[in-house]
Amino acid sequence: MISNAVIVLGAVISVTVAFEPHFSSAYRLHFDVLTANILPYLLFAWLAVMAKGMLTNVVGVALLILHLVILTNPQLLAAIWPAVEVKYSGPLLLASLLVPLLFFFRKPGWLMESTE
């Protein structure tokens, strides 16, 4: 339940970040920003399917909080990578932190199949 809410809130945050105002008083959706921001939540959805439990919920809430902190405080990552746009590098950094968890919780193919 919590993991579903994390994925939905992450998608909403990703879409919100991807809309940017244009000089003609219109908003444009930047697909590259959307893709970079939604990638951690796609990896988290995969993790939530493989590893169900309280640890997954804690990782999801931490992912959501870190994503919001990175987006609201761009100077945190600007000190590390001054020339990189935070809208791209922050979510990609979060996604790279989730990859080891995916390898740790992976299951063989026959365990992932449904027996219905």
User: Mind listing the pLDDT tens digit for each residue in 62-76?
Assistant: 999 999 888 888 776
User: Mind listing the pLDDT tens digit for each residue in 14-55?
Assistant: 998 888 877 777 888 889 889 999 999 999 998 888 887 888
Domains of the chain, by residue range, sit at 2-112
Distance of CA 33 to the CA centre of its chain: 12
Q: For residue 88, what pLDDT is reported?
A: 82
Whole-number Å distance between alpha carbons of 100 and 114? 25
